[in-house]
Amino acid sequence: MADVCAGLARVADGIEKELMRTLVTGGAGFLGAALANRMVKEGHTVLALDDLTAGDPRRLSSDVLLTRGDVRDVPKLWTLLQGVDCVYHLAARVRVPESIHYPSDYNAVNVGGTVAVMEAMRDTGVRRVVFASSGALYGEQAHQPIRERQLPNPNSPYGVSKVAAEYYLATLGTLYNIETVSLRVFNAYGPSQDLPPSYPPVIPQLLKQAQTGGSLVIFGEGAQTRDFVFLDDVVDALVAAATATDVNRAVINIGSGREISINDLADCVARVSGKQISVIHNQGQEGGVSRLVADVGLAQDLLGWAPHTELEDGLRLTLERDRRFQ
């Protein structure tokens, strides 16, 4: 792996580190910005590509070299990939309900963008990509916690787009001699997570309602469970995947390994925030899959990674760091 992601060596606090030049697609997004900021803080050179439809450049350190552009623009990728050791491919459209209404857009960006990145990497000789896939591709599964060997069963165009992107990644990686690692991230949350007016993620929506005294509509009975993993833990996994050995073609779950119902999550937010949340159940609309929790044993084995942030601690950190909730 040293020949793939070798960078400049330096000594800091007596520890020699490998420095890299990386490209983060979707680099001004929720996950991308957190990753880019961590990487530059550690001394790496980080280029970020984002079309800024959802990304916000204010999230980024001034040391991150941001370019505005479409991830499907191969000539632009050629320019950005010069001298890059490793690509983090995070650019995607990510809202499951939205994907049901706009499946062609999700296919174009999530699948087409992945193919474009692989073509440009082939042309410029970049030899490793870490891909942010999603636990949403599993859909309804009888066996929980979910292991990577279980067959995907996506129930949305978003989930389908992640399955297709993984297949393209593995196939083109083999054809072009590019090392690929796919991290199936479950429900990530943390400071600066997008809070759009339509289809907002559940945790920032709950935190907002706790602060404003509004009501939260929960689809179904609220008994459906999800695996929420804190942003810092996800970034740790992404960083580890860039230099891990023996992970070529690996698909790896990244989650907390614990599940919580949406009803219990609302109670947890109320405890942490010290405020009550009014919950309305919409029984006329399904709440998605009944259970979704990751088995994270493979991440420990291949990346030496494990989640460290308990849900209540992560919620407190989000409240402390995110000005929108203060």
Nearest alpha carbon to residue 118 among 93, 87, 158, 92 = 87
d(CA 37, CA 191): 13
Tell me the residue length of the chain.
326
Token readout for 179 is 């090392």
Are 36 and 57 spatial neighbours (Cβ–Cβ below 8 Å)? no
Q: How far is CA 118 from the centre of its chain?
A: 19
* Backbone φ/ψ region at 154: left (φ over 0), alpha (ψ -120 to 50), beta: beta
Q: How far is CA 59 from the centre of its chain?
A: 16
Residue from 88, 106, 158, 189 carrying the catalytic annotation: 158
Are 296 and 236 spatial neighbours (Cβ–Cβ below 8 Å)? no
174 — phi, psi (to 5°)?
-65, -45
d(CA 287, CA 222): 7
Active site residue 158: yes
Q: Give the contacts of 78 (CB within 8 A, at least 6 positions apart).
A: 120, 123, 124
Annotated catalytic residues are 158
